[in-house]
Each structure stands twice: as structure tokens, then as C-alpha cells.
Structure 1
Amino acid sequence: MSLFPEEDVNAHYFARSDSSETLGTYSDHGFELEDQYWPTVEHYFQASKFEPNSDHRERIRLAPSPEKARKLGRTRWKAKVRNDWKKVREVIMTRGVYTKCRTHPDIAQQLLDTGDQRLVENSQYDYFWGCGRDRRGENTYGKVLMKVRAKLLAEQKEAESEGSSE
């Protein structure tokens, strides 16, 4: 028996911060949410750590890249992170990913095309959003994607059944 779990062959491993990974938060697929345009899910997620009308939140939204947005989102000495952040961060991430998929049908289809694969954010260092070095992390981002996939699939089935009942 190995110290690390075996790689799941029915899983799609990806890096959330890879801009070429369309299911990641860095992909260049902007969307409108909360009456503002967000260049990437990463911009939306990082900015959401701060109060809606703060200058720091706006700096993050306007950041030239998702890397810069992430860096600004981690500079907590410039602005106070909202008190409920740990409670709402997963909801915020889900909202961003879902809105991205609804804005870009091709991304939604790519997510649906993963079928019943387990989606795994393959981060060596992140044990909350990713699977961590030993693959025993929470994989919260992968779970967010799977929840969004299930919602998109349910919406698709509902639309099909409404279409067939006409």
C-alpha cells in the first residue's frame, strides 16, 4: 500500500490557475454579475473577499490579469476581508463558475462533456480548493464544478422535457 492514494482513472485532473484550462478560474471567459463585468472567475472570487463598494475590490476587478487579481486579493493589509468570508467563499466560487458557464455555452458543454468523471483541482499546496500533494485534500473547487455540472444537466433535462411536452 502506497503512502499516497492511487490516481483515480475516472477523474479529470486540472490546475485551476492554468489560463488554458477552460474549467479553471484563470480562463479568459468574462461575465456580468452583480451589475459589473468580471474578466475571469478569479477576478470575481478575489474581489468578493472585500466589501462591495471598497476601492480595493474595484482594483481587483480591474486587474490586468488573474494572477494580479489573486495577488491583490491576498494583500489583506490594504483592506479588511469580510467577516463572513469563510462561510460564503464556496457560494461565491459556485456563483462565479455557474455564471461563466451560463454566459459561455461552450464552457458549459465542456463541463457537461466530463460526464460522471470526478473533477480534481490538482494543486500540490492547496488542501481546501485542491487535492493537495498527497491527494487527500478537500478538492472543494472540483466539488464546485461537479455541483455546477449537475445543475446544468438538470436545467438541460428540464428544457428538453418542456420542449417535448409542447
Structure 2
Amino acid sequence: MFYTADSLRRMHQGGETVDFLFFYGHQLPSDGSTTESCLSQWYPCIFEAEGILYQSMEQYMMAQKAAYLGDYRTHARILGACTPGDCKALGRMVSGFQEESWRQVREQIVLCGNFQKFLQNPPLKSFLLQTGDRVLAEASLYDRIWGIGMSKGQPGIQDLGNWRGLNLLGFALMQVRTMLRSLANQEGAGW
């Protein structure tokens, strides 16, 4: 199922039960299992897009931001960065940044990158597909764009009216899940 903020609000207001998966953090489990941490933009994983290898979605997003805004010097620095934190810091230094221009493309960039991330990493793809129709929400207290502006376990987190953020990452991941499910059905794998 594909959700939007409006469809979730209507469901909630109509008294429908909404099943959530709140995620936050990017640490790899010591036992090597795949957990909800794989949903994070900072989760370490290798994937290729447009002939370039990326080490995380954060690196992809910041590199695409720099390229979109024509700052190829920072783009190259992001591609050479070692950590998602370094990528984020460099992304904040992109010259020519215009919020309105970035706002027009940011969701599509995150959607495309996450599609490649999950498509090319079978354990991550399997985890995402196994989330079923749950609503994915990044429970980041401080991120009001990509997350919900609330932390896991915070009272009222399951009430969408309390969310302080847009949850753009959660919605992008749910759209990727729908795309991967459709692709699996076309290939006869079914999810």
C-alpha cells in the first residue's frame, strides 16, 4: 500500500488502525542481522547509481544535491568522504544553495537513491518488503523534514497529529517498497 500524509490522516481520523514501524539509528547489529537500522540514510551499504559507487544513502543524497546545484567541487569531495557525517557536513557547504530549488527535487533524489540501495542489496530489500503495509516513520527528534520530529517511545508518537515533522524519508521508503513489490510481482516472485 502506498501512503501519503493526507491518506494517513484520513485513516487516523476515520478510526482506522495504523500499524507503524518507527526507526532511528544506523548501527549494524553485532550478530550481522538486518534490522530497521537499514532504513536509515546513514546505514553503511554499497550501491551503484549512474556509474558511481556510494557507501550510504546520505552520500548519494548530498552528492546529488551538490551536482543539482552545480557545485562539482563539493560533489567530488562528497564522493571522497569517508563517513555519512562528513557527507552531511559537506552537503551543508554546497555553494549556490536555494531552499526552494532543493525542495523541488529532494524527494525524487531520495526515492531514486533508495530504490537502487534496496534493489541492489538483497538482505535490505527483503527486510523492507517484510515490513508489509506498516507505516515507516523516522523517529528523529531533531529532523522535521525527513523524520517526524519525535523520538521512539515518546508519548503520543502514534498520533499523527502530534508529529512535528514531514517524515519525507518514511514516505520515500514506503514508495520504494511499493515499487519493489510491483517489480517482484512482475518477475513472479510475489510479495
Relative to 1, partners in 2 of residues 1:48 and 1:19: Cα closer, same or farther, differing over 3 Å?
farther
1:10 aligns with 2:30: no
Q: What is the letter of the counterpart of residue 47 of structure 1?
A: A
* 1:138-162 C-alpha deviation (Å, 9 max, x unpaired): 111000000000111111111118x
Structure 2 residue corresponding to 1:120, chosen from 134, 137, 151: 137
1:108 aligns with 2:125: yes
Pairs aligned (count): 152
- Report the Cα offset of residue 19 of structure 1: 3.8
Structure 2 residue corresponding to 1:41, chosen from 57, 69, 77: 57
SS in 2 for 1:57: helix
1:148 aligns with 2:176: yes
State whether residues 30 and 41 of structure 1, in contact with CA within 8 Å, keep that contact through their aligned partners in structure 2.
Answer: no
1:59 aligns with 2:77: yes
State whether residues 18 and 135 of structure 2, in contact with CA within 8 Å, keep that contact through their aligned partners in structure 1.
Answer: no
1:93 aligns with 2:110: yes
Determine the C-alpha separation between the residues in 1 that align with 2:46 and 2:84: 11
State whether residues 129 and 139 of structure 1, in contact with CA within 8 Å, keep that contact through their aligned partners in structure 2.
Answer: yes
SS in 1 for 2:142: coil
Determine the C-alpha separation between the residues in 2 that align with 1:41 and 1:13: 19
Q: Which residue of 1 aligns with 2:31?
A: none
Please, what TM-score do these two structures have when normalized by structure 1?
0.83
User: Which has the higher mean CA deviation after the structures are superposed, 27-36 or 86-95?
Assistant: 27-36
Query: Runs in 1 of length 4+ with deviation above 3 angstroms?
Result: none
Give identity over the alignment, percent: 31
Determine the C-alpha separation between the residues in 2 that align with 1:80 and 1:12: 36
RMSD: 2.2
Q: What is the letter of the counterpart of residue 49 of structure 2?
A: L
* 1:47-66 C-alpha deviation (Å, 9 max, x unpaired): 11113671111101111101
- Report the Cα offset of residue 125 of structure 1: 1.7
Q: What is the letter of the counterpart of residue 178 of structure 2?
A: A
Determine the C-alpha separation between the residues in 1 that align with 2:72 and 2:46: 21
1:27 aligns with 2:43: yes
SS in 2 for 1:84: helix
State whether residues 118 and 146 of structure 1, in contact with CA within 8 Å, keep that contact through their aligned partners in structure 2.
Answer: yes
State whether residues 50 and 80 of structure 1, in contact with CA within 8 Å, keep that contact through their aligned partners in structure 2.
Answer: no
Q: What is the letter of the counterpart of residue 26 of structure 2?
A: D
* 1:100-152 C-alpha deviation (Å, 9 max, x unpaired): 01111111110000011110011112222111134242111000000000111
